[in-house]
Amino acid sequence: MTREWNSEHDSWAVYGGDAPIDDATRATWRESVDDDTPPVRLIAHSPYWFWGTLGALYALSFANPLANVASGVAAVVGMLAVMHAAFRDRNLLTHRGAYPVASPLWMFLSPIAYLVARSLALKSVPGHRHGFVGWYLVGLGIVVGCVLFFLAAQGLIGAAAI
């Protein structure tokens, strides 16, 4: 990493990864840092694949008790996958020259906590977008809506059977 004083903003500018040496290309290189990484897309879309998998295994648990064990294993594997994605996202952002970057340890609270911390840490990076927090919340809303729909349908079916 290269660290230098930025007199225009009265702060230190830190360039990581493959930062160019000369000042002329460094300015355009800093502006081209892209915060869209494949791991953050995995995290932003995690409500779909995580809760979808657990929902499918829950539905299978009525037919096979072994699906309960698979649900527990799927939950642990899903949590490890988003944790690994957070560490990989941090490495990619650092390699691309983004500084500061959020700690992947925010993922211990929840994926939304990591995405908000990431968004706040990258707010000084030109071209930064806040869309990943929104995608996560939309996905979570769709999942909650589906769960409520199926619970209501199950209650109506149960009430009709009485």
Tell me the pLDDT band of 120, cut-offs 50, 70 and 90: confident
pTM of the prediction? 0.71
Q: Domain extents for the chain?
A: 33-161
The continuous run of DSSP H or E covering 12 comes out as strand 11-15
Query: Quick one: which of 98, 133, 141, 93 has its CA closest to 116?
Result: 133
- Which two three-digit tokens encode residue 111? 């994926």
What are the pLDDT digits (tens) for 65-116?
888 888 889 999 999 999 999 999 999 888 877 778 889 999 999 999 999 9
Q: How far apart are CA 51 and CA 139, in angstroms?
A: 10
Q: Say how far apart CA 19 and CA 91 lie, in whole Å.
A: 15
Residue corresponding to tokens 């993922």:
107
pLDDT in tens, 46-65: 999 998 898 888 888 888 88
pLDDT at 80: 95
Note the pLDDT of residue 160: 79
What is the rounded end-to-end Cα distance, in angstroms, of the chain?
69
For the record, the structure tokens of 8 come out as: 């225009």
